[in-house]
Structure 1
Amino acid sequence: MRSRTAVGSPVAASGRKDMKMKSFDWHAAPISRATAITKSYRNTQNARRFFIKECGGGFEFDRPFMAWLRDGVEKTMGDAADEWLRREAEKRQ
């Protein structure tokens, strides 16, 4: 028997999360500063549009930033935009 939590994610009758939950659709789902970066994160055109909106037209993915995005530490897309801007400011010093 399955039930749904307030946010709509399936949970087993035992209260544990169902391991078959859908991952975030990085290609099509709306992205905001509050969007959590999940294990399924991908550098999609949708993600790029978000970063250009938040960071400006000079935004580019680079290897150190991409590694930071996927380092396993919980963060949001807003955190990522702020980090990219911090790194860019550091380059200009």
Structure 2
Amino acid sequence: MTPFDWHKDPIDDQTVITSTYKNTQNARRYFEEVCGDHFRFNRHFMAWMKKSKGRTMREAANYWLSEQSGET
């Protein structure tokens, strides 16, 4: 099995965050599609992503959205 390529492999809600996750343009496109054009990577979210191996990208998007609404 080849490692997930965060630069070019398709990302959807069920994509699992791996230990090789990178904040790529491909990842940004996914988050902008799910979270809206106002999506931005920030230090807190990037730290959360780093420790979220095994979670899904949808869980990450939900976390970012809850962070923006002040629910975290």
TM-score, normalised by the number of residues in structure 1: 0.72
Stretches (4+) displaced over 4 A: none
Pairwise CA RMSD:
1.3
Aligned twin of 2:62: 82
Write the deviation string for residues 38-77 of structure 1: whole angstroms up to 9, x where unpaired. 0010000000000000000000000010000011552110
TM-score, normalised by the number of residues in structure 2: 0.92
Aligned twin of 1:29: 9
% same residue: 46
Find the structure with the greater CA-based Rg. 1
Aligned twin of 1:40: 20
Question: 2:68 aligned with 1:50, yes or no?
Answer: no
Question: Structure 2, unaligned stretches of length 5 or more?
Answer: none
* Structure ranking higher in helix proportion: 2
Aligned pair count?
A: 71
Greater shift after overlay, 67-76 or 27-36? Answer: 67-76
Tell me: higher relative CO, structure 1 or 2? Use CA pairs within 8 A at least 6 residues apart. 2
Question: 2:43 aligned with 1:60, yes or no?
Answer: no
Aligned with 1:90: secondary structure? coil
Is the contact made by 2:17 and 2:55 (CA closer than 8 Å) also made in structure 1? yes
Evaluate the alpha carbon distance shift between residue 48 and residue 72 of structure 1 in structure 2; reply closer, same or farther with a 3 A threshold: closer
* Structure ranking higher in strand proportion: 1
